Chain A
């Protein structure tokens, strides 16, 4: 699904990713943990196509195509989704118009007609039920005045609407209360299937109690320094990051 080889990226001449390798197979759930500032969100942004980050070396293959060759919207249309660590507020753009434009962008890419109003509303109803997104939030401007947790829930709603092949969740658990964490996790788990992969960035084991990963990786100073089974997350929670010194070879 996703093969990252020797990825180097920088922002304004500051290297942040320093030779990162990662392989995610179809249907797999990978978790990435790591200290603040280690480059987790940068990795997510580079994969999603944010232009501030310059890739200086390496390659990323997404389901047989060169991911780095596409712009952000093409990547999304090809099935990549990023749930932002800090979702953006866009006053004046209604959540529903936003989602309709997104879905029609994807449908255009697939050579399909724009979605009918009826089908769209049915889809909204189904997917917002999945993450228990209140109607009043759907109808407002994108994320405007949403609480932190509401924004995160809205990210998962968008993911459910767009049904990506690969979803990257950047600290979707932060800011969620216990019930919201359960609901969001259920939403993700409901979407798990053999063809869909997840990259879950988190600081906390508790999310991984709900969304059980196949692999856990530790990112430090722009590299994956350790990888292991789901138990690695428990070990990290207990011991912190200090014991992992050298990059894995």
Chain B
């Protein structure tokens, strides 16, 4: 069977959405027909082929009967947050706890579309650029809509918890966040999946951060089962705004994160930090694009990975400094430890600088654990596992430290410790 016919069969059983989303779904359908299905030949997908995903047709992700009893709606102990929860792309209203405050609109994305809160269903144009984006749009479901009015600070973070469960699920959640001028919001994006879950999570998040506004995202992927996870975040930033994301892949069978930030107003600052620690035969791909289009902006990008067993990783960090974007200060660092001989990482920084008066630095390292340091630790009576744990914590410590919610950072550390037997 050729890849394109596999690609058709792959979503043949998945119903197109009705109602308010239908126009987006229609465009998605067209995109699926017009755009090339990614293969190993396409540069952007070379190291993350989707062949294995396409090989097993998906089913429509049926609306769940409530929230699964064995999953905590709030997976983060001690986190005091508003909450919107989804199973297989569908919002489960009875397990949500939405903010009700002046200047804050927070509701399911579909409801927001119906009530006319979204003038435009799509900002990122993802379905016009990428086949997987078109697959998402053609089957877009529900998600969170968050609008924070000018000058308003959300008093607590909003937790968006997406859970995947079942066989060959097609989950296409879609979120939009608008933080108006001088407003501030913190959001936790948590992804879980049940043991034995299979299929695809293909999500899109669009955010607009207004002038002088701040948006912080703590994103955590902690998925059991064998789910193919495609994520696309697209963020535009106004003058003097700050956008921060921490993208932590604790566990995931196959993950492709695509993150774009576009600075459209002077004085904007972007923080893109992330960590990935795949093991077994897992795959984690982070493709980021930092787009400096105007002068006087800064960005700080830091991704750290530790690859165990036979896992594979990809880091591709594009930084554009457009001709207009004088006095840009862009920093990018990607550091990797390949812990076992069977693991590998493909790391590639890509800087395209068209302005002449800028400060850009980047670094990319791939190495092993420092044996000298390990021996030093062991010579003090620290066992091999504990010694490695100390080294790992030291390595990803600067990523964890910068997260918005301390409780989330703590839980990530706990999950990693459990998973890797450090505790």
In the bound complex, residues from chain B placing their C-beta under 8 Å from that of A72 are 375, 378-379
Instruction: Identify which of B214-222, B238-246, B391-399 touches chain A.
Output: B391-399
- Do A109 and B381 touch (CB < 8 A)? yes
- Do A101 and B390 touch (CB < 8 A)? yes
Contact residues of A between 55 and 112, Cβ < 8 Å to B: 71-73, 75-77, 81-82, 84, 87-93, 97-99, 101-103, 105-106, 109
In the bound complex, residues from chain B placing their C-beta under 8 Å from that of A77 are 381
- Do B381 and A106 touch (CB < 8 A)? yes
- Do A76 and B381 touch (CB < 8 A)? yes
- Do A48 and B379 touch (CB < 8 A)? yes
In the bound complex, residues from chain A placing their C-beta under 8 Å from that of B355 are none
What CA separation (Å) do A93 and B342 show in the bound complex? 27
How many chain A residues have a CB neighbour from B under 8 Å?
A: 33
- Do B397 and A73 touch (CB < 8 A)? no
A1 within 8 A of B: no
Which of A76, A92, A141 interacts with B380 by CB under 8 Å?
Answer: A76
- Do B397 and A92 touch (CB < 8 A)? yes
In the bound complex, residues from chain A placing their C-beta under 8 Å from that of B370 are 90
In the bound complex, residues from chain A placing their C-beta under 8 Å from that of B393 are 92-93
B377 within 8 A of A: yes
- Do B381 and A92 touch (CB < 8 A)? no
What CA separation (Å) do A75 and B372 show in the bound complex? 17
B387 within 8 A of A: yes
What CA separation (Å) do A102 and B387 show in the bound complex? 9
Contact residues of A between 20 and 79, Cβ < 8 Å to B: 48-51, 71-73, 75-77
- Do A90 and B378 touch (CB < 8 A)? no
- Do B380 and A98 touch (CB < 8 A)? yes
What 0/1 readout, one digit per residue, does chain B (377-411) give for beta carbons within 8 Å of chain A?
Answer: 11111111011001101110110000000000000
- Do B398 and A92 touch (CB < 8 A)? yes
- Do A101 and B382 touch (CB < 8 A)? yes
- Do B383 and A90 touch (CB < 8 A)? no
- Do A93 and B379 touch (CB < 8 A)? no
Contact residues of B between 343 and 400, Cβ < 8 Å to A: 370, 372-373, 375-384, 386-387, 390-391, 393-395, 397-398
- Do A90 and B379 touch (CB < 8 A)? no
A158 within 8 A of B: yes
Known contacts A92-B393, A93-B391, A93-B394; A50 and B382 CB within 8 A of each other: no
Q: Identify the A interface with B (CB < 8 A).
A: 48-51, 71-73, 75-77, 81-82, 84, 87-93, 97-99, 101-103, 105-106, 109, 141-142, 158, 162
Instruction: Taking A90-B373, A102-B377, A158-B380 as given, write out 15 further A-B residue pairs in contact, using a Cβ cutoff of 8 Å, ordered by the A residue number.
Output: A50-B375, A73-B379, A73-B382, A73-B384, A73-B387, A75-B379, A77-B381, A81-B380, A88-B373, A88-B375, A92-B398, A99-B380, A101-B380, A105-B381, A162-B380
